Structure 1
Amino acid sequence: MNNINNYTPLSKNIFKNGSKEQYAFFGELSTHSLKLKLILISDYYKRNSKPNELITVKLKGHSSKNSLLFNSRLSISKLLEALDELKSDNIIDIKSYDNSDITYSLKEYWLDNVAYVDLVYLMPFKSTRKIKLYLLIDYYNNYNMPLYFAFNFLDYNNLKSARKDNIKSIKNIIKSIDIVESVKYIYKENVGLNYFFEIKRKKKLVNNFDKIFTITDKDFNK
């Protein structure tokens, strides 16, 4: 069973297809920077801090094998590169950092309208695309992902000449995610989403904290 303390609240708005909040949250972050952003948000909430309240995270405290930072597999050099990238982030406000400490605050603080995510599962992933897909699939359970949204969100070239290869690549990434039951690429005439990926998530366990992440707001999947 998962530990409820591992769960981190994220605004539901970042799961809404093509929303301003979604693009602002994920931006064009590298894999290392996205992982670190999620970790810093998690640490902030665990301390019950308030928006704009500075906290300091000691990197030595993350040496435990149970820590998110350890499981993220970020070396000190990659960590410092990620911090450089996050200096202009719209949510994390980095004040100072070195090889031992990070001092920062959150510009935005979510108390309502949130989904809870167990970040432990995301830390081993080696691509931003896989992290993004995992989050959306876990959020929606049965998820119809529009083709052109997928191209933009996952940073694929949407030129017609590359379309076939990109569709195959996206399907392969989805299939590699262990919570996926099945995925189909579908075209339907006279519907709002003519081209989309029909993704079904494996059934969640009743006695698992995974159920905390089950969201039933259907209006987000548009």
Structure 2
Amino acid sequence: MYLSDIHTHSIASGHGTTCTISDMAKAASKKGLKLLGISDHGPGTLASGTSSYFRSLPFYPRKRFGIDILYGVELNILDSAGHTDLSDELLNNLDYAIISMHRQNYRSGSVSQNTEAYINAIKHPAVKILGHCDDTHFPVDYETLARAALRENVIFEINEASLAPGGYRGDTRANAARILYLCQKYQLPVILSSDSHGKEHVGDFTYAEEFVHQLMFPETLIFNNQLPKLKVFLQTR
């Protein structure tokens, strides 16, 4: 059982999700989580959080239903220069940022162009996690990206929604395996993420957990149960 899930989405992310942050926290508490991160999509996603929403997040309660709450954002990469869809002012007041590519915001280029986009984006000090970069629609050079992540103090996620059957990112297993191999090679931690849109799958790592165990990835490099280390990592800018 893992104790934290920091890639989750509330009603502010759109996508038909109707769950409030309180709904998410209550579900996370019932499942035994100790730390929940709310990372709603940036304003570039249709019907997602506005700038005013992200401006208000630092004033929200830090504890709900007995568990600690962090407030972040899943940023959209907009171009190969690594521009994103939230201002520095707002980013710097959030607990962390996940950086991701989504087809409605970023037009996939060559392997080198996509890799360059990720590398430029993770240079922002608020960015701590590479979101679902196993997506087959955005091919990257994982060796180059892993070295950049190590340099910039950013980690990869292993995304439950990517590995679940029928995912819209294609068959991501080979990419996820490559990520885990390189993370072990460079002793780079990972985080398992549910990517839950709503409360149903909060803290659900069914396929991600099975995958990392099949590949014998060391638990010492999985941050989900290392809460003090995870909090320090997210706070380090």
TM-score of the two chains, using structure 2 as the length reference = 0.24
Structure with the larger helix share: 1
Structure number with greater CO (CA < 8 Å, separation at least 6) is: 1
